[in-house]
Amino acid sequence: MRALVATIAAGACAVAGATRVFEQPEAAYEAALADVTLPLSVTGRVTFRPCNGCALVSLPVSPRTIYLVERSEVPLDALVRAAAEAAAAGRADETAIYIYYDVETRRVNRLVLDHLD
């Protein structure tokens, strides 16, 4: 009987020890292209309002920031070009920019341009 109680107690401790709290290292904003000012360089800033009436948010990009158009990784100038083409075609309100940033440093990890069809 003691062996059974010891086994159950050991199992309970193992399960309790397996519980972990995960921190979320990354967060994101979604904005319409029309509401975003893209960075001018790889050390610039992306600026936007997260909602109507919200304060302006400006987050820095870095040489490590990844830029994507749809699912393809591109350099910053290609993302800016694709954004300009979408705006010129009158699709700035239908095109989303997803801004993924590091919660601790508030630096942008990824900028994603997504044409909503």
pLDDT of residue 7: 54
Q: When comparing pLDDT for 15 and 102, which is higher?
A: 102
pLDDT of residue 26: 95
pLDDT of residue 9: 54
pLDDT of residue 115: 83
pTM over 0.75: yes
The Cα–Cα gap between 50 and 111 comes to: 15
Q: Is residue 20 part of a domain?
A: no
Element (H, E) at 84: helix 76-88
Q: Is residue 98 part of a domain?
A: yes
Domains identified in the chain, total number: 1
- What average pLDDT does the segment 54-67 reach? 97
CATH number of the domain within which 65 lies: 2.40.50
pLDDT of residue 83: 97
Q: Is residue 110 part of a domain?
A: yes
- What average pLDDT does the segment 100-108 reach? 97
Q: Is residue 95 part of a domain?
A: yes
Q: Is residue 85 part of a domain?
A: yes
Q: Is residue 19 part of a domain?
A: no
The Cα–Cα gap between 79 and 69 comes to: 6
- What average pLDDT does the segment 27-55 reach? 94
Q: Is residue 5 part of a domain?
A: no
Supply the range of the domain harboring residue 101.
26-115
Q: When comparing pLDDT for 67 and 15, which is higher?
A: 67
Q: Is residue 81 part of a domain?
A: yes
DSSP 54: P
